[in-house]
Structure 1
Amino acid sequence: MVRAGLSRAIVVETAARIVDEEGLTDLTMAELAKRLGIALPSLYTHVRSLEHLRSEVALSVTNELSRLMGEAIQGYAGRDAVFALARAYRSYAVAHAGRYAMAMLAQPGSADDRHQEAAMKCGLIVYGAVRGYGIAEAELTDAARFLRAGLHGFVSLEGQGGFALPQIVDVTFNAFLAGIDRALSTWSDQQENKT
Structure 2
Amino acid sequence: MARAGLDRDRVVAAAAEIADAEGLDAVTLARVAAAFGVKSPSLYNHVAGRDDLLRGVGLLGLSEIAAALREAAIGRSGTEGLVATAGAYRSYVLEHPGRYAAGAITAPDAEDAELLAAGAAVLDVLRGVLRSWSLDEDETIHALRAYRSAIHGFVSLEAAGGFGLPLDLDASFDRLVHTLAAGLDGR
Contact kept? 2:61, 2:104, Cα under 8 Å = no
- Number of aligned residue pairs: give it: 187
The one-letter amino acid of 1:173's match is F
Contact kept? 1:3, 1:37, Cα under 8 Å = no
**Residues 44, 105 of structure 1: alpha-carbon distance in 2 compared, 3 angstrom cutoff:** farther
Contact kept? 2:83, 2:174, Cα under 8 Å = no
Matched, 1:36 2:53: no
Matched, 1:150 2:137: no
**Residues 71, 166 of structure 1: alpha-carbon distance in 2 compared, 3 angstrom cutoff:** same
Deviation of 1:134 (Å): 2.8
Alpha-carbon distance in 2 for matches of 1:181, 1:106 = 25
Alpha-carbon distance in 2 for matches of 1:113, 1:30 = 28
Query: Which residue of structure 1 aligns with residue 184 of structure 2?
Result: 184
CA RMSD, 1 decimal: 1.7
Contact kept? 2:55, 2:102, Cα under 8 Å = no
**Residues 171, 103 of structure 1: alpha-carbon distance in 2 compared, 3 angstrom cutoff:** same
Contact kept? 1:55, 1:108, Cα under 8 Å = no
Query: Which residue of structure 2 aligns with residue 192 of structure 1?
Result: none
The one-letter amino acid of 1:112's match is D
Q: How does 1:43-192 map to 2 (within 5 A)?
A: 43-104=43-104, 108-187=108-187
Residue 5 of structure 1: SS of its match in structure 2? coil
**Residues 145, 107 of structure 1: alpha-carbon distance in 2 compared, 3 angstrom cutoff:** closer
Deviation of 1:158 (Å): 1.3
Cα shift readout 1:32-85 (whole Å, capped 9, x = no counterpart): 000122221110111111111111111111111111101110111111111111
Alpha-carbon distance in 1 for matches of 2:105, 2:87 = 22
Deviates more, 1:57-66 or 1:157-166: 157-166
Alpha-carbon distance in 1 for matches of 2:72, 2:103 = 21
TM-score of the two chains, using structure 1 as the length reference:
0.89
Contact kept? 2:94, 2:155, Cα under 8 Å = yes
Cα shift readout 1:126-164 (whole Å, capped 9, x = no counterpart): 111111123334421111221111111111111221112
Deviation of 1:106 (Å): 5.6
Deviation of 1:98 (Å): 2.5
Query: Which 4+ residue blocks in structure 1 deviate beyond 3 angstroms?
Result: 104-108
Contact kept? 1:70, 1:125, Cα under 8 Å = yes
TM-score of the two chains, using structure 2 as the length reference:
0.92
**Residues 124, 79 of structure 1: alpha-carbon distance in 2 compared, 3 angstrom cutoff:** same
Unaligned runs of at least 5 residues, structure 2? none
Query: Which residue of structure 2 aligns with residue 9 of structure 1?
Result: 9
